[in-house]
Structure 1
Amino acid sequence: MRPISRTVTLPVAALAALLAGCSSMPSLSDLASVTGDKVLGLVTPYRVEVVQGNVLTKELVSKVKPGMPRAQIRDLLGSPMLADAFHEDRWDYVFTIQRQGAPKQHRKVVALFEGDKLKTLEVPDDLPSENEFVAAINTFKPTGPAPKLSLTEAERKALPTPAKSAEPTQEPIGPVRTYPPLEPRT
Structure 2
Amino acid sequence: MKLFFRNTLLAIGTATALSACINIPYKAPVQQGNVIEADRAAAIREGMSKNEVANIVGSPLVNNLFRQDRWDYIYRLVENHKPAVQTRMSIWFTNGVVSKIERDLAPTEAQ
Give the TM-score of the pair, scaled to structure 1.
Answer: 0.43
Contact in 2 for aligned 1:57/1:127 (Cα 8 Å): no
CA–CA distance in 1 between the matches of 2:95 and 2:107?
Answer: 27
Matched-pair contact (CA < 8 Å) for 2:49–2:98: yes
The Cα RMSD (Å) is 2.3
State the match for 2:65 in structure 1: 85
Superposed displacement of residue 124, structure 1: 1.5
1:14 is aligned to none
Runs of 4+ in 1 over 4 A off after TM superposition: none
Tell me, in whole angstroms, the C-alpha distance in 1 between the residues paired with 2:32 and 2:73: 10
Q: 2:38–2:105: 8 Å Cα contact kept in structure 1?
A: no
Query: Quick one: which of 43, 53, 57 aligns to 1:73?
Result: 53
CA contact (8 A) 1:58 1:127 kept: no
Whichever structure has more strand as a proportion of its residues is: 2
User: Who is 2:44 aligned against?
Assistant: 64
Change (3 A) 1:70 1:41: farther
Unaligned runs of 5+ in 1: 1-39, 129-186
Structure ID, larger Rg: 1
Contact kept in structure 1, 2:40 and 2:57, CA below 8 Å: yes
Runs of at least 5 residues in structure 2 that lack an aligned partner in the other structure = 1-19
In the alignment, the residues of structure 2 paired with residue 117 and residue 127 of structure 1 have an alpha-carbon distance, to the nearest angstrom, of 28
- The one-letter code matched in structure 2 to 1:112 is W
Aligned AA (1:68)? M
Q: How many residues align?
A: 89
Alignment correspondent of 1:122: 102
| Residue equivalent to 2:87 | 107
Cα 1:94/1:41, change in 2 over 3 Å: farther
Match of 1:42 among 12, 22, 31: 22
* C-alpha separation in 1, matches of 2:107 and 2:100: 16
Structure 2: distance between partners of 1:119 and 1:99: 35
Bigger RCO (CA 8 Å, 6+ sep): 2
Answering whether residue 45 of structure 2 is matched by residue 54 of structure 1, we say no
Offset of residue 127 of structure 1: 5.6
Sequence identity percentage: 24
- 2:11 is aligned to none
